Amino acid sequence: MRDFPSCFGESGVQVADSSSSSGSSGRAAQNLVTCVYLCELRGVSRFITVTWTKNLMGQGLLIGVENPTGESLCKVDIKPSLFSKRKGSKNAELGSSAVEVYWDFSNAKFGSSPEPLEGFYLAVTLNQELILLTGDLQKLAYKKIDAAVTIPAACTTTFLAKREHISGKKLYAAKAQLSDKGALHDISIECDDSGHGSSSSDPCLVIRVDGQPVMQVRQLRWKFRGNHTILVDGNLVQVLWDVHDWLFGNTAAAANGVFLFQTSSSCSSSDKLWSSQLAFNCSEFQHSQPSCSKAQGFSLLLYVWKD
């Protein structure tokens, strides 16, 4: 699996989506959000990826179910023509595995992101067992899902990671939970590079959570890559950044920065994590096979692009 660096316990997981091939080269990749969930069902672990997309054709959705080894069990692609119907279901089969997706976006509210903010539900079943239910209309989902679908009591689904492409001029904003059951926070990244090329000033990076400054990096031309620990909801969150291409990129396609917000429990060693991610923009990171029993914490990966 590729293109989603994260670190859970002592191991890493990479998850690919349908747009990964354009993730580092084009504007088409800006409007996508990928969420990664870990489902534990009767001692068997599976990764579920939900990718929300938006382009000139409209909004779409891609759901994938994989084994921890990276083997794809099934993928369901909800193209803009089907997504625009606002509610419905779709299924797909691969071998002995059958995935069905149910959704209702009739009253969904969207911001700048292709991911809905509220007023929706999205349910995923594997072989007629519910393995993922997200959104704020879960009671409605239980009523609408086919009676043949079972809700296994032993199923535990955890929100592990999120990747989002956002764009702006100097200010970049996103909404995210920095823990599975945590509050939804407004995260803003401000990069003032007006001093680039001037001997009297230097670019400055400021990150805010819910409007409050949590970190500031001065002399950014010398500190274009680094890490810092902040406190959110009483939890330690490590922030890693790479803005080299923001400052020194020669083309519009390369004018992007990368930010990783990661709860401290997600990785046992920040130095080990950062050393494995020095090539932050390369999109491919090789780690050992994940140990799902050690999966803890949450990772938020933001790709930010200059308009």
Residue 35 confidence (pLDDT) above 90:
yes
194 with 239, same domain: the answer is: yes
pLDDT surpassing 90 at residue 203: no
How many other CB atoms are found less than 10 A from the CB of residue 6?
29
Determine the pLDDT at residue 264: 62
Q: What is the mean pLDDT of the chain?
A: 76
Give me the pLDDT at residue 244, please: 87
| pLDDT value at 9 more than 80 | no
- Quote the CA–CA distance of 59 and 55 in Å, as a whole number: 7
Last residue of a domain, one of 124, 153, 182: 153
42 alpha carbon, distance to own chain's centre: 26
Asked whether residue 71 carries a pLDDT value surpassing 70, the answer given is yes
pLDDT at residue number 23: 40
The verdict on 122 and 200 lying in the same domain is: no
For the cut 90, the answer to whether the pLDDT of residue 240 exceeds it is: yes
User: For residue 99, what are the domain limits?
Assistant: 43-153
What is the distance between the alpha carbons of residues 3 and 132, in angstroms, rounded to a whole number? 22
Name the domain boundary from 153, 177, 211. Answer: 153
**At which of 131, 153, 175 does a domain end?**
153
Reported as a single tens digit per residue, the pLDDT across 146-195 is 766 888 877 888 888 999 998 888 888 888 888 766 788 999 999 876 54
Who contacts 37 (Cβ-Cβ below 8 Å, separation ≥6)? Answer: 47, 48, 49, 50, 132, 157, 158, 159, 160
Q: Which of 107-121, 195-209, 232-246, 247-261 has the lowest mean pLDDT?
A: 195-209
Q: In this model, does residue 11 exceed pLDDT 60? A: no
- For residue 15, tell me if it sits in a domain: no
Cβ atoms within 10 Å, residue 111: 11
State the total domains in the chain.
2
Query: Are residues 129 and 256 both part of a single domain?
Result: no
Do residue 149 and residue 167 come from a single domain? Answer: no
Check whether residue 243 and residue 110 sit in a common domain. no
What would the mean pLDDT of 124-152 be, rounded to a whole number?
86
Q: Domain check: are 143 and 214 in the same one?
A: no
Say if 166 falls within a structural domain.
Answer: yes
Same domain, 188 and 213: yes
pLDDT at residue 154, rounded to an integer:
76
- Could you tell me if 226 and 166 lie in one domain? yes
Q: Do residues 239 and 229 lie in contact, with contact meaning Cβ atoms separated by under 8 Å? A: yes
In a domain, 184, yes or no: yes
pLDDT in tens, 73-117: 888 999 888 888 888 889 888 777 888 899 999 999 988 889 998
H helices of 35-103, where?
80-83
Instruction: Please give the structure tokens belonging to residue 249.
Output: 């990129």
Residues 142 and 180 both lie in one domain: no
For range 24-35, the mean pLDDT: 63
In a domain, 12, yes or no: no
Of 124-138, 237-251, 273-287, least confident by mean pLDDT is 273-287
pLDDT at res. 183 = 83
Confidence band of 201 (pLDDT split at 50, 70, 90):
low
- Shared-domain flag, residues 184 and 284: yes
The verdict on 186 and 145 lying in the same domain is: no
Contact status, residue 107 vs residue 96, Cβ threshold 8 Å: no
128 and 71, same structural domain? yes
Q: Counting beta carbons within 10 angstroms of the beta carbon of residue 155, is it exposed (0 to 12), middle (13 to 18) or buried (19 or more)?
A: middle
Cα 185 to Cα 274: distance, rounded to the nearest angstrom: 25
